Homo-oligomer: A and B are copies of this chain.
């Protein structure tokens, strides 16, 4: 998606440790009008797939997921990363390793909100090693829901997460695919 690639080149910052900072429009400050355009594109890609639920993971996927859901006119379910008093005991759960936080945490979804009859589109802001996405896929499979595919805003295509998930037969649509990036030479997109 050209609009997104241009925005990443303008406002994204490459930092040491393979970090792409897009906190100026995506995952700290959210440019809501722009994020809705990402949602419109996800809808164009998956419009004919009967999506009736969007699944994401807290926190930075929630904004884009909600704006995307408006085009599908469906609810958003966000997986939680820690057990709180506000979640039911009866949950699907799976461990996920976090690159940005340097820890492993349990991801949880209440069983009552995901199951047979759901046609699920997973939305997330980043795909790199694929840990979060693989965790969400495991949860969809535990639940008996149908997985339609995944919509990713930015894929680090030089890491193996996208390949792993596509090799499982899961459709993955990434709006920007980064072929390489470093502080010196900047960002190069696939294609």
Q: How far is B78's CA from A136's CA once the two chains are assembled, in angstroms?
A: 23
Contact of A32 with B69 in the complex, beta carbons under 8 Å: yes
Interface residue total, chain A, C-beta cutoff 8 A: 46
Q: How many of these chains are in the complex?
A: 2
Contacts of A110 in B (CB 8 A): 23, 28-29
Contact of A35 with B80 in the complex, beta carbons under 8 Å: no
Chain B residue, CB-CB nearest to A91? B28
CB 8 Å contact bits of A109-127 with B (1 = contact, 0 = none): 1101100000000000000
CB 8 Å contact bits of A1-39 with B (1 = contact, 0 = none): 000000000000001010101011101111111011000
Q: How far is B15's CA from A86's CA once the two chains are assembled, in angstroms?
A: 9
> What is the interface of chain A, defined by CB distance below 8 A to chain B?
15, 17, 19, 21, 23-25, 27-33, 35-36, 58-59, 62-63, 65-67, 69-70, 73-78, 80, 82, 84-88, 99-102, 109-110, 112-113
7 other contacts beyond A28-B80, A28-B110, A62-B62, with CB at 8 A cut-off? A23-B87, A29-B77, A30-B66, A36-B70, A58-B58, A84-B101, A85-B100
